[in-house]
Amino acid sequence: MNTIKINPFSPHALVHPGVFQGRDNEISIIEGYLYQTKSGTPQHFIIDGERGIGKSSLFFLLTHIANGSIPYHGQDTFNFLTINTELSVNDTEISIIEKLYKELESLIALDEGLKLKANKFWDFIKTIEVLGCRIHNEKTEPDFAEALTQLVNTIQYLIQDLDETIDGIIFLIDEADRPNIEANLGEFCKLFTEKLIKRNCSNVCIGLAGQKSLRKKLQDSHLSAPRIFAIHSLLPLSPEETIRVIDAGLESATGKNKFEIKITDHAKQILAEMSEGYPHFIQQFAFSAFQADTNNCIDVEDVMSGVFSKGGALDQLGEIIFKEQYFDNIKSDDYRKVLDFMAESQENWVTRKDIINSGIKEKTVDNALSALRSRGIIVPNHKVKGKYKLPTKSFAVWIRALRFQTT
């Protein structure tokens, strides 16, 4: 009989620190940045990478490390005031400042200890019409320079109030690639960090997370903005880390369900192979295999049924990300063959000749390349003419997983 069980895998949510695996190098480096920030020489940073690679989950873990709920280097604890926010396409240069300010204000308001100590901070925001809807009165246009100055003033008072209590302030800004260029995030970061230093608020650090386009957006907003940041790009997890995600998930399921849910080695290996280290894929494939299991031992059959059944893992991933590119926008099976060939070529650029050599007719290849390129389903190599690849590695992994059943 199929008992109802708590599924530990979370394809649509941030991973809980207990189930989080890998990223040891990034964590250790960023712990170093936090340590530097504590001592007054902050190192701002960017975490970038493809969709679903684990940027927000890493930020979630860093929040715990920065605010002291998880020790750093497994020993001491930091005590930073840690502000989390996400940006959106609708953000403007004023709304970004508002978001940071509001998060800061509510964090202080919610912590009784800090709230009592933050006297100058409260006095200051009482005396000026600071930010949020109060940033401008009805008669005046919101002013970026004014808003920025007020944010810096607020932080300065807060640091004076809490100097003895906190290590500093960390701003973790997720989805930083989303606002339009007009939101001027690069300029904000440049001016904000410079003003803070001038005011002796040198224990404040900014971390941004977003897709690869973030660097270019920062640069377009202010030429030297990317230089403020150390940039770390997230890559897929290693096979060992992938296996650990599955093991940690099942261990937590056993704890929560109060009975053991096992997995065969072969099933684990297939989950790891198909997901190729993409955390979103691992969570989705493991979630679906867990759902398909009926005897509390996940085997290869459960994995296959979870991944390939209607509404299963591949459908889920397809619905969210790839289906449009692979099925809806392409009416010809021959064009799909071109994509399949590119998916097999890993991350390498392929030439028109490579594709023709794989057995697809010349004319079809020419038509496919032109159609796929114009729809942004493949990208051309701007340095070497006539070379193409899929826009992301995860798209290739999804196509390969789709074909896994038939191989």
Ligand X SMILES: Nc1ncnc2c1ncn2[C@@H]1O[C@H](COP(=O)(O)OP(=O)(O)OP(=O)(O)O)[C@@H](O)[C@H]1O
* C-beta of residue 161 within 8 angstroms of C-beta of residue 125: no
Treating both helix axes as pointing N-terminal to C-terminal, what angle do 185-198 and 93-110 enclose, rounded to 10 degrees? 50
Task: Return the range that interacts with ligand X (CB under 6 A); candidates 16-24, 62-70, 178-186, 351-359.
Answer: 16-24
**Residue 84 found at the interface with Mg ion (CB under 5 A):** no
Angle at 200 between CA 76 and CA 34, to 5 degrees: 25
Taking CB under 6 A as the rule, does residue 279 contact ligand X?
yes
How many other CB atoms are found less than 10 A from the CB of residue 276?
Answer: 20
Interaction partner, residue 312 (Mg ion, ligand X, none; CB < 5-8 Å by kind): none
| Window of 12-20, 31-39, 124-132, 219-227 that interacts with ligand X by CB under 6 A | 12-20
CB nearer to Mg ion: pick between 55 and 99:
55
Query: Amino acid letter at 105?
Result: E
Sole residue written with tokens 């296959």 = 304
Q: Which entry of Mg ion, ligand X, none binds 22, CB below 5 to 8 A by partner kind?
A: ligand X
Q: Which is nearer to ligand X, 335 or 395 (CB)?
A: 395
Interface with ligand X (CB under 6 A), residue from 7, 8, 11, 118: 11
Closer residue to Mg ion in complex, CB, 322/335: 322
Q: Which does 392 bind (CB under 5 to 8 A by kind): ligand X, Mg ion, none?
A: none
56 binds ligand X (CB under 6 A): yes
Figure out which of the listed residues 10, 36, 219, 257 binds ligand X, where binding follows CB under 6 A.
10
Our CA angle for 71, 73, 75, nearest 5°, is 50
Report the residue from 15, 147, 292, 343 that binds ligand X according to the rule CB under 6 A.
15
Q: Which of 7, 8, 21, 66 binds ligand X (CB under 6 A)?
A: 21
Residues forming beta bridges with residue 46, ordered by sequence position: 208, 231
22 is an interface residue for ligand X by CB under 6 A: yes
Pick the piece of the chain touching ligand X (CB under 6 A) from 31-39, 53-61, 116-124, 327-335: 53-61
Query: For residues 323-352, which are near ligand X according to CB under 6 A?
Result: none
Q: Does 211 bind Mg ion (CB under 5 A)?
A: no
Residue 73 interacts with ligand X (CB under 6 A): yes or no: no
The structure tokens 């926008």 sit at 329
Residues numbered 9-68 forming contacts with Mg ion, rule: CB under 5 A: 55-56
Phi, psi of 154, rounded to the nearest 5 degrees: -60, -45
Report the nearest approach of Mg ion to the CB of residue 400 (Å).
24
Q: Give, for 341, the enclosing helix (H) or strand (E).
A: helix 333-344
The residue among 15 and 298 lying less far from ligand X, judged by its C-beta, is: 15
Query: Which of positions 217-246 make contact with ligand X (CB under 6 A)?
Result: 245
Q: How far apart are CA 392 and CA 211, in angstroms?
A: 11
CA dihedral 243, 248, 249, 254 (to 10 degrees): 130
> Can you read off the two tokens belonging to residue 20?
């989080």
Distance of CA 291 to the CA centre of its chain: 26
Give helix 393-404 / helix 279-292 axis angle, nearest 10°. Answer: 30
Q: How far is the CB of 45 from ligand X (least distance, A)?
A: 15
Region of 264 please: left (phi>0), alpha (psi -120 to 50) or beta: beta
- Is residue 51 part of the contact set for ligand X (CB under 6 A)? yes
Residue type at 217 in one-letter notation: K
Residues that bind Mg ion (CB under 5 A): 55-56
